[in-house]
Structure 1
Amino acid sequence: MKGFIFLGLLAGPFYYAQNVQDSVKTAEIESISFLKRLPVTKEIINVEKDLGQKNLGQDLPILLKNQMSVISTSDAGNGVGYTGFRIRGVGGTAINVMLNGVPYNDSESQGTFFVNVGDLTSSASQIVIQRGVGTSSNGVAAFGASVNVLTKNPGEKFYLKSDDSYGSFNTQKYSAEIGSGKFWKNRLSLMGRYTQIHSDGYIDRAFSDLNSYNLTALFEENKTKIRFMAFGGKEKTYQAWNAVDRKTWETDPKFNYSGAIYDAAWENIIGFYNNETDNYHQNHYQLLWEQNLNSHWNLETTFHYTRGSGYYENYKQDAKFSKYNLPDLIVESQTVKKTDLIRKKWLDNDFYGAVSTLYGKFENLDLNFGLVGNTYFGKHFGNVSGVYFPEIFEHEYYRNNGTKTEFSGFAKAIIKLKRFEFYGDAQLRNIIYNTEIIQQGDGEGVELDKTWLFFNPKLGVNYRIDSGKLFFSYAHAHREPNRDDIFANPEIQPEKLHDFEAGLEKSFGAVSFTTNLYYMNYVNQLVLNGQINDIGEFIRVNSGKSYRMGVEIGALARLSKQWNVSGNLTLSKNENKDFKNETDSGFESLGNTPISFSPNFIGNLLISYTPTQNLSLGIQNQYVGSQYLDNTNNSDLELNAYFLTDLNAKYTLNLKRTAVDFKLLLNNIFNKKYVNNGFVDDREPYYFSQAGTNFMFGVSFRFQ
Structure 2
Amino acid sequence: MIKGLISTVVFLGTVLCVSAQHHLSIKILDAETKKTLQGASVSLVATNTIHSKSNDKGVALFSNVPNGKYDLTASFLGYRSEKKQIDLMDDKSIEIYLQAQVIKTEEVFVQATRAKSNSSTTYKNLSKEDISKNNFGQDIPYLLDQTPSVVIGSDAGAGIGYTSMRIRGSDNARINVTLNGIPLNDAESMGSFFVNLPDFASSTESIQIQRGIGTSTNGAGSFGASLNIQSNTLEKDPYVEFNNSYGSFNSWKNTLKVGSGLLNNKFAFNVRLSRILSDGYIDRASSDLKSFYVDGGYYSDKQILKAIVFSGKEKTYQSWYGTPEPRLNNDIEGMKDYAINDGYTAAETENLLQAGRTYNKYLYKNQTDNYTQTHHQLHYTNFINEKITFNAALHYTRGAGYYEEYRPEDKLSKYNLPQVILGKDTISKTDLIRRRWLDNYFYGATYSFNYNPSQAVKLTWGGAINQYKGDHYGEVIWAQYASTSNLGDKYYLNDATKNDISTFLKADFTVNDWLLFADIQYRNISYQVSGDDDKIKDLDFDRKFNFLNPKLGFTYLINENSNLYASYAYASKEPVRDDFVDIIGNNPKPEKMQDVEIGYRFKNDVFNIGTNLYGMFYKDQLIPTGALNDVGSPLRLNIPDSYRIGLELDAAWKISNQFIWKATAGLSQNKINNFTDETSNEFFKKTDIALSPSTILSSEFSYKPVQAFEIALLSKYISRQYLDNSSAKVRSIDPSFVNNVRAIYNFAAFGIKNIDLSLSINNILNEKYETSGYTWGYMDGSSRKSFNFYYPQATTNFMLGLNIRF
Compute the TM-score of the two structures, normalised by the length of structure 1: 0.93
Q: CA deviation at 1:232?
A: 1.5
- What is the number of residues matched between the two proteins? 678
Q: CA deviation at 1:698?
A: 1.0
Measured in 2, the distance between the counterparts of 1:699 and 1:224 equals 38
Amino acid at match of 1:350: Y
Are 1:209 and 2:288 counterparts?
yes
Residue in structure 1 matched with residue 132 of structure 2 by the alignment: 52
Residue in structure 1 matched with residue 96 of structure 2 by the alignment: none
Are 1:698 and 2:790 counterparts?
no
Are 1:426 and 2:520 counterparts?
yes
Residue in structure 1 matched with residue 458 of structure 2 by the alignment: 366
| SS in structure 2 of the partner of residue 323 of structure 1 | helix
| Residue deviations 1:45-78 (CA, integer Å, cap 9, x gap) | 103x112122111111112111111111100000
Q: CA deviation at 1:158?
A: 1.5
| SS in structure 2 of the partner of residue 692 of structure 1 | coil
| Residue deviations 1:291-347 (CA, integer Å, cap 9, x gap) | 101110111111100000000111000111111011112224532111111010000
Amino acid at match of 1:680: T
Measured in 2, the distance between the counterparts of 1:542 and 1:180 equals 52
Residue in structure 2 matched with residue 228 of structure 1 by the alignment: 307
Unaligned runs of 5+ in 1: 1-17
**Equivalent residue runs for 1:115-194 within 5 Å:** 115-183=195-263, 185-194=264-273
Q: CA deviation at 1:446?
A: 1.0
Q: CA deviation at 1:262?
A: 6.0
Q: Return closer, same or farther for 1:332/1:549 CA change in 2, 3 Å cut-off.
A: same
Measured in 1, the distance between the counterparts of 2:428 and 2:800 equals 54
Given that 2:752 and 2:804 are in contact with CA atoms closer than 8 Å, whether structure 1 keeps it comes out as: no
| SS in structure 1 of the partner of residue 327 of structure 2 | helix
Residue in structure 2 matched with residue 507 of structure 1 by the alignment: 603
**Equivalent residue runs for 1:79-94 within 5 Å:** 79-94=159-174
| SS in structure 2 of the partner of residue 543 of structure 1 | strand
Unaligned runs of 5+ in 2: 1-35, 40-75, 80-99, 353-361, 778-785
**Equivalent residue runs for 1:661-680 within 5 Å:** 661-680=756-775
Measured in 2, the distance between the counterparts of 1:70 and 1:444 equals 39
| SS in structure 1 of the partner of residue 727 of structure 2 | coil
Residue in structure 2 matched with residue 488 of structure 1 by the alignment: 582
Q: CA deviation at 1:23?
A: 5.8
Residue in structure 2 matched with residue 379 of structure 1 by the alignment: 471
Given that 2:473 and 2:494 are in contact with CA atoms closer than 8 Å, whether structure 1 keeps it comes out as: yes
Measured in 2, the distance between the counterparts of 1:509 and 1:20 equals 14
Residue in structure 1 matched with residue 72 of structure 2 by the alignment: none
Higher-RCO chain (CA-CA 8 Å, sequence separation at least 6):
1
Residue in structure 2 matched with residue 400 of structure 1 by the alignment: 494
Q: Given the alignment, which residue of 682, 687, 691 partners 2:790?
A: 687
Given that 2:774 and 2:789 are in contact with CA atoms closer than 8 Å, whether structure 1 keeps it comes out as: yes
Measured in 2, the distance between the counterparts of 1:247 and 1:592 equals 30
Are 1:414 and 2:508 counterparts?
yes
Residue in structure 2 matched with residue 110 of structure 1 by the alignment: 190
Moved more, 499-508 or 306-315: 499-508
Measured in 1, the distance between the counterparts of 2:542 and 2:448 equals 30
Are 1:606 and 2:687 counterparts?
no
Q: Return closer, same or farther for 1:252/1:175 CA change in 2, 3 Å cut-off.
A: farther
RMSD over equivalenced CA pairs, Å: 2.3
Given that 2:280 and 2:286 are in contact with CA atoms closer than 8 Å, whether structure 1 keeps it comes out as: yes
Given that 2:370 and 2:403 are in contact with CA atoms closer than 8 Å, whether structure 1 keeps it comes out as: yes
**Equivalent residue runs for 1:339-350 within 5 Å:** 339-350=430-441
| SS in structure 2 of the partner of residue 545 of structure 1 | strand
Q: Given the alignment, which residue of 748, 751, 755 partners 1:660?
A: 755
Measured in 1, the distance between the counterparts of 2:598 and 2:789 equals 38
Q: Return closer, same or farther for 1:445/1:158 CA change in 2, 3 Å cut-off.
A: farther
Given that 1:211 and 1:234 are in contact with CA atoms closer than 8 Å, whether structure 2 keeps it comes out as: yes
Q: Return closer, same or farther for 1:348/1:38 CA change in 2, 3 Å cut-off.
A: same
Q: CA deviation at 1:266?
A: 8.0
Moved more, 34-43 or 94-103: 34-43
| SS in structure 1 of the partner of residue 196 of structure 2 | helix
| Residue deviations 1:134-178 (CA, integer Å, cap 9, x gap) | 114101110000001100124212111111111000001111111
Given that 2:296 and 2:306 are in contact with CA atoms closer than 8 Å, whether structure 1 keeps it comes out as: yes
Moved more, 149-158 or 161-170: 149-158
**Equivalent residue runs for 1:312-323 within 5 Å:** 312-323=403-414
| SS in structure 1 of the partner of residue 138 of structure 2 | coil
Rg larger in structure: 2
Moved more, 569-578 or 381-390: 381-390
Q: Given the alignment, which residue of 281, 285, 298 partners 2:372?
A: 281
Residue in structure 2 matched with residue 471 of structure 1 by the alignment: 565
Measured in 2, the distance between the counterparts of 1:580 and 1:20 equals 58
Q: CA deviation at 1:488?
A: 2.2
Q: CA deviation at 1:20?
A: 8.7
Q: CA deviation at 1:371?
A: 1.3
Measured in 2, the distance between the counterparts of 1:96 and 1:222 equals 33
Q: Given the alignment, which residue of 110, 113, 117 partners 1:36?
A: 117
Residue in structure 2 matched with residue 531 of structure 1 by the alignment: 627
| SS in structure 1 of the partner of residue 116 of structure 2 | helix
Q: CA deviation at 1:219?
A: 0.8
Measured in 2, the distance between the counterparts of 1:333 and 1:264 equals 27
Compute the TM-score of the two structures, normalised by the length of structure 2: 0.81
Moved more, 446-455 or 606-615: 606-615
